[in-house]
Amino acid sequence: MARGAFIVIEGCDRSGKSTQCKLLVQGLNNSGIKAKNISFPDRSTEIGKVIDSYLTKKIELPDQAIHLLFSANRWELNDMMKQQLEDGTTLVVDRYSYSGVAYSASKSTHNMDIEWFKAPEMGLLKPDAVFFLHLDNDVAKQRNGFGKERYENKDIQNRVAKFFKSFEKFDEWQVLQC
């Protein structure tokens, strides 16, 4: 059996990632290709529940601690994802390590080196393709639900977008204008 493809959809908040992931999985399954959607953070795990409390502003955590929790959340699913790929399932992932690095580095008040943010991601599965949904932040902030979570403000989203732009040098990275 052929290995499944590992596809990541990235973008700033409210760019349409979740919608596009669901549509892609549906289209692949309808075409006879076994596909599954995974979203990060996975808020159903114990680590994910702490992340959810942080994102919904119920708790405060230092930047370094929350970054490591986001990374640990991806590590929680790494073996399962590897097995599913080996079993021929295509994985369409809503956010991955790129978001972890971009969001953490863009909000860090500790002038930390970007390599620190990349280090916990080393060894995670590498995607076959990454599609970045580029949407102007002024359009995104008009979408339903913008502003409910910690990072959903124009200032942070503009800084995150600049970090995402630095990933365009990677071969697997494709920018889609929305």
Residues 152, 72: Cα–Cα separation, whole Å: 22
Tens of pLDDT, residues 9-56 = 999 877 889 999 999 999 999 999 999 999 999 999 999 999 999 999
- Whether residue 119 is contained in a domain is answered as yes
Q: What is the mean pLDDT, run by run of 10 residues, along the chain of 178 residues?
A: 96 88 98 98 97 96 95 98 99 97 81 88 97 79 63 82 89 89
- Whether residue 1 is contained in a domain is answered as no
Number of compact structural domains in the chain: 1
CA nearest neighbour of 95 among 155, 146, 20: 20
pTM attached to this predicted model: 0.90
CA nearest neighbour of 44 among 98, 89, 80, 13: 80
- Whether residue 105 is contained in a domain is answered as yes
Asked if residue 91 lies in contact with residue 84, where contact means CB atoms within 8 angstroms, the answer is yes
pLDDT of residue 142: 65
- Whether residue 51 is contained in a domain is answered as yes
Q: Tell me the CATH number at 128.
A: 3.40.50.300
CA nearest neighbour of 5 among 117, 84, 96, 110: 84
Residue-number span of the structural domain to which 44 is assigned: 6-177
Q: Tell me which DSSP letter residue 67 carries.
A: H
- Whether residue 139 is contained in a domain is answered as yes
- Whether residue 87 is contained in a domain is answered as yes
